[in-house]
Amino acid sequence: MRYTLSALAEQTGAGLSGSGDVIVEKVADITSGEEGSIVFVSNAKYTKHLKTTDASAVIITDKMLQSCDKPALVTENPRVVFSKVALLLNPLPKVEPWISPHAVIAEDADVDPSARIEACVVIQSGVSIGPGTWLSPGCVLEKNVRIGANTRLFANVTIGEGCTVGDNTILHSGAVVGADGFGFVWDQDAYMKVPQLGSVNIGNSVEIGANTTIDRGAIGDTIVEDGVKIDNLVQLGHNDHVGEHTTMSGQSGISGSVKIGRKCVIGGGVGIGDNLEITDNVILAGRSNVANSIKEPGMYAAVIPVVEARKWRRILARIKQLDELAKRIKALESKNK
Amino acid sequence: MRYTLSALAEQTGAGLSGSGDVIVEKVADITSGEEGSIVFVSNAKYTKHLKTTDASAVIITDKMLQSCDKPALVTENPRVVFSKVALLLNPLPKVEPWISPHAVIAEDADVDPSARIEACVVIQSGVSIGPGTWLSPGCVLEKNVRIGANTRLFANVTIGEGCTVGDNTILHSGAVVGADGFGFVWDQDAYMKVPQLGSVNIGNSVEIGANTTIDRGAIGDTIVEDGVKIDNLVQLGHNDHVGEHTTMSGQSGISGSVKIGRKCVIGGGVGIGDNLEITDNVILAGRSNVANSIKEPGMYAAVIPVVEARKWRRILARIKQLDELAKRIKALESKNK
Amino acid sequence: MRYTLSALAEQTGAGLSGSGDVIVEKVADITSGEEGSIVFVSNAKYTKHLKTTDASAVIITDKMLQSCDKPALVTENPRVVFSKVALLLNPLPKVEPWISPHAVIAEDADVDPSARIEACVVIQSGVSIGPGTWLSPGCVLEKNVRIGANTRLFANVTIGEGCTVGDNTILHSGAVVGADGFGFVWDQDAYMKVPQLGSVNIGNSVEIGANTTIDRGAIGDTIVEDGVKIDNLVQLGHNDHVGEHTTMSGQSGISGSVKIGRKCVIGGGVGIGDNLEITDNVILAGRSNVANSIKEPGMYAAVIPVVEARKWRRILARIKQLDELAKRIKALESKNK
């Protein structure tokens, strides 16, 4: 797609500085922009590139205008305008309704005629699929799954029996929704499986990453509210409840029966223990671990970043002596009273 | 299904207190029980709910009887009885023998007539599948795989060439058994792949979580003994050996040639280094890391849970100074002799 | 396959000690060798087994010859020679060209006649597949994917639109290449998805583990250079760039826009934060976390291995007091000036 800069200003609501007639046909990175491209700067440390980029137009804040003589879209939030421009220049493919002859669909499934079902998709009895929803090859929808409108399942996604997915939601390849939760009780001489009787309810405008797993509830359901964004290889345990607009980065892992509030930001690789409650607006630094409920919004952390291995060996030896070191300080204090 | 409470007492071996004629038709959580449901309490902090639940019956210990005037199943282990009741009320679906016309099965594969093979399952040459075993859509069984009786593979599971799975075992969706172990040797100017010649042997009554990966052995096999329960997104490396009735929670990761004993409890996200040996009955706290063999049963840990990020920055600065701080303590001690 | 020891010496370039007529037909572990097998020792602590093994031949260094009276291949690098021998004795299966009637291939896809395409593989429009390449069942190749020669995709691998894979590369089951990167911007009252417009370029002689996920770039591509070896359940974020011959062990996770140099060794479960740069020849200890760019080659670490839980509780309490302890040391020093 090609747009004039003035058309982009109009469609994104950004201000216009300089010629609106410039033709823009692709987005680029500020360090690599070429003719016909548009770039953005939101971080002051990149403003220096505004002088050297070959991009035809830029997206910047009002403040940066003085460092720039290019045609510009002016906005308080360059990243948002850039995303809108990128989407205008690269519109999502229209969903062409189709049912592959190589899909396997139960007779009583209710597939909207505007949906697209690709090869080797298996849809079991009682499933319903809303308008404009698109299933890539290899997806498996077990009995009584319900999927809303304009939702996209990429290849090889599995949705377990009775689980529901809302509208405008995206599940990336290999995601597994509705496997059994991990529940066992020791009974005399072996573990007995605790029946996992709940399901998973995923809201609208959710995104779920590749190979992420979301377990069904034991009693009652696992719930992912509207607008939640989950990255790849994340684990959500049984009966977890994730509040609206919370984001969870790659490889984070949430044990069972955890309640996470709204607008939280869970960093990559974060671990949260069983039965905890995290209030709204909590930020957890990547790779940190949560062992107690968090009742106050704010940022939390406890990760030790790497140092040279030789140096770490000395620190580690001291960590193991910490209790003794503290006692030696106390002894010194007694002597120095 | 519906049962009288006395029938449930009889079938589970629990004692009966109050009317045995009460009809029970579903399980519920102690905080949400309604008429017709049965709930359990095993933790004293929930006994207060016994007075307010609308459930028709409860599962409790002898001690709790005094706080409760509901019809009750009485047992020393309410969680076990609850699981048995849940299974009676929600029996597993009977496996209806069937071979989907959309399954692709090698001519020389040996599939028991009582097995169920769904659409888009691919079964290669030399595979054998026991009675009552059920393969969901999209599973791939490479050459010479052997699967026992009454085992369940959910959708899109892959079992690599020559691997074996026992009876009454469950593999959840997306699990990969028998990919090559991670073995390379540097040869002059590039890594050479070390052939991974072993396979994977999975025992009886094992459960393996969604998207979990279990690599084949390099020489000799990777072994998962009877009764082992493995959660989602777990990694087992080549030639690992996991002893009977050990549990491994989500995202735990075991390097190669690790021997884990019987009845261990491996927390979520735990890491265990190469070539280590963990004895029986070891409990590893979630997200902890093991760098040396563990020879004594017991609980082990080393994770720092999150604190406010501002506080953590100060602590972290001190951790980096630890060696110096220890030396300063020593200097003070010299002065104070 | 069977070889005489002298044939193996010739083919691997190793020296020969003792009878070259010994017949070798399989590899074994030094602790379990039997007649007809060949074993290797590269670590001095296993040389004692040289006296007791029933193996017919051994692979050892010059130095170990004195501890051993068996026929031997002699080399400075027993592990490399062993791998070569293992491959000679267990040659890779020849790829037999075939297109399963149960594969679903777009009319305009360009599949080399010497490729092998198994059942339930789905190949979309514009895809090209080179000679000798072998796709196991259930793989999905979206539009315009290009795969080189002699590459192997195991079962249920997904390659997203427009991504490329080189020659002699292996992708293990369930790997997902080219899912969207994790990019969102907050726009008034919800997150907006940042279009992920790049793709993924995977080089030659790369290996990618089971259920590993490699996201496409946002602008520009995610790049995995030649000879990179990636284990299972690894996450590579959008626009990451991994240099030649770097290895990444299981469950390591790399955020977005990270540049990793050549010949790095990334341990299992390692985490690397956004936008960092890791120079060549960096070794990161398993489960460690990187929060800043690393400019000097060498080994880095910062993991606390488990201790008895009781002991850890005391240490942890002291860690939380560290800032206060440091101040108390300072106060003591003032008194002792």
**pLDDT tens digits, chain A, 337 residues: what are they?**
899 999 999 999 999 999 999 999 999 998 888 899 999 998 888 888 888 899 999 999 999 988 888 999 999 999 999 999 999 999 998 999 999 999 999 999 999 999 999 999 999 999 999 999 999 999 999 999 999 999 999 999 999 999 999 999 999 999 999 999 999 999 999 999 999 999 999 999 999 999 999 999 999 999 999 999 999 999 999 999 999 999 999 999 999 999 999 999 999 999 999 999 999 999 999 999 999 999 999 999 999 999 999 999 999 999 999 999 999 999 999 988 7
A–C CB contacts, 8 A cutoff, strictly below: 208
Written as six digits, the tokens of A286 are 């990547």
Q: Quick one: pLDDT at residue B45?
A: 84
Q: Measure Cα distances from B70 to A272, B330, C308 in Å.
A: 36, 66, 44
The confidence band for C250, taking pLDDT boundaries of 50, 70 and 90, is very high
Whether residue C67 has pLDDT greater than 90:
no
pLDDT above 90 covers what percent of chain C?
Answer: 91
Q: Are A33 and A39 in contact (CB under 8 A)?
A: yes
User: Is C304 within 8 Å of A322 when comparing Cβ atoms?
Assistant: no
Chain B interface disruption, residue of A288, A324, A328, A337, most B CBs within 10 A? A288
Question: pLDDT tens for residues B281-309?
Answer: 999 999 999 999 999 999 999 999 999 99
From C172, C238, C241, C245, the catalytic residue: C238
Asked if the Cβ–Cβ distance from A213 to B229 is below 8 Å, we say: no
Among the partner-chain residues A187, A220, A284, the one whose CB lies closest to the CB of B80 is: A187
pTM > 0.90: yes or no: yes
Query: Of the given ranges (B256-265, B323-332, C95-104), which has the lowest mean pLDDT?
Result: B323-332
Residues of A designated catalytic: 238
Residue of C287, C308, C316, C333 to mutate, interface with B, max B Cβ within 10 Å: C287
Nearest by CB to residue C306, choosing from B120, B301, B318, is: B301
The burial of C149, by beta-carbon neighbours within 10 Å (0-12 exposed, 13-18 middle, 19 or more buried), is given as: middle
Quote the tokens at residue B70. Answer: 């509901």
* CB contact residues (below 8 A), chain A span 64-123, against chain C: 77, 79-80, 82-84, 86-87, 90, 100, 102, 118-120
Check if the beta carbon of residue C269 is closer than 8 Å to that of residue B287. Answer: no
Q: Which of A119, A303, A304 sits opposite C104 (nearest CB)?
A: A119
| C100 contacts B120? CB cut-off 8 A | no
Question: B328: which 2 tokens?
Answer: 């300063």
Residue numbers in B near C207 (CB within 8 A): 180, 184, 193
Q: Do A172 and C174 touch (CB under 8 A)?
A: no
- Residue C281 reports pLDDT greater than 90: yes
The tokens for B171 are 């593999």
Whole-angstrom CA distances from B152 to B116, B131, B132, B325, C152 are 10, 11, 9, 58, 28
Q: Does C32 touch chain B (CB under 8 A)?
A: yes
Tokens of B174: 């997306």
Cα distance between residue A172 and residue A153, in whole Å:
6
**Over the stretch C7-29, which tens digit does the pLDDT of each residue have?**
999 999 999 999 999 999 999 99
Subunits in contact with chain B (3 or more CB pairs closer than 8 Å): A, C
Touching A: C residues 213-242, CB under 8 Å: 213, 215, 219-220, 233, 235, 237
pLDDT band for position C282 (cuts 50, 70, 90) = very high
Kindly report the nearest CA distance between residue B304 and chain C, in angstroms: 7
Q: C258 φ, ψ to 5°?
A: -100, 135
Mean pLDDT in residue range C218-239: 97
Q: Kindly report the nearest CA distance between residue A182 and chain B, in angstroms.
A: 6
Q: What phi, psi does B137 have (nearest 5°)?
A: -55, 145
Q: Do C190 and A170 touch (CB under 8 A)?
A: no
Please name the chains neighbouring A, where neighbouring means 3+ C-beta pairs under 8 angstroms.
B, C
Q: Which residues of A touch C158 (CB under 8 A)?
A: 138, 154-156, 173-174, 210
**pLDDT, position B336:** 87
CB distance C156–B160 less than 8 Å? no
> What's the pLDDT score for residue B163?
98
Looking at beta carbons, which residues of chain A come within 8 Å of C142? 136, 155
Q: Check A179 against B209: CB less than 8 A apart.
A: yes
Q: What is the DSSP string of A196-208?
A: ----EEE-SS-EE
Q: Is the pLDDT of residue C336 over 90?
A: no
Classify B178 in phi/psi space as left (phi over 0), alpha (psi -120 to 50) or beta: left
Question: Residue B293: left if φ>0, alpha if ψ -120 to 50, beta else—which one?
Answer: beta
Among candidates A271, A300, A307 on the partner chain, residue whose Cβ is nearest the Cβ of B307: A300
Per the prediction, chain B carries an average pLDDT of 96
Is the CB of residue B204 less than 8 Å away from at least one CB of chain A? no
- Kindly state whether C335 is in contact with chain A, defined as any CB-CB distance less than 8 angstroms: yes
pLDDT class of C146 with cuts at 50, 70, 90: very high
Question: Which residues, including other chains, have CB under 8 Å from residue A258's CB and lie 6 or more apart?
Answer: A237, A240, A241, A272, A273, A274, A275, A276, A277, A278
List chains touching C (3+ CB pairs under 8 A): A, B
B114-146 pLDDT, tens digit per residue, is 999 999 999 999 999 999 999 999 999 999 999
Q: Enumerate residues 301 to 320 of chain B having a beta carbon within 8 A of any beta carbon in chain C.
A: 301-302, 304, 307, 311, 314-315, 318-319
Is residue B117 a contact partner of residue B135, using CB atoms and an 8 Å limit?
A: yes
Does the structure show a pLDDT above 90 at C32? Answer: no
CB atoms B253 and C245 under 8 Å: no
The SS3 assignment for A335 reads helix
Going by C-alpha positions, the residue among B76, B227, B204 that lies closest to residue A190 is: B227
Tens of pLDDT, residues B158-216: 999 999 999 999 999 999 999 999 999 999 999 999 999 999 999 999 999 999 999 99
**CA distance linking residue A5 with residue C148, whole number of Å:** 40
Residue numbers in B near C307 (CB within 8 A): 300-302
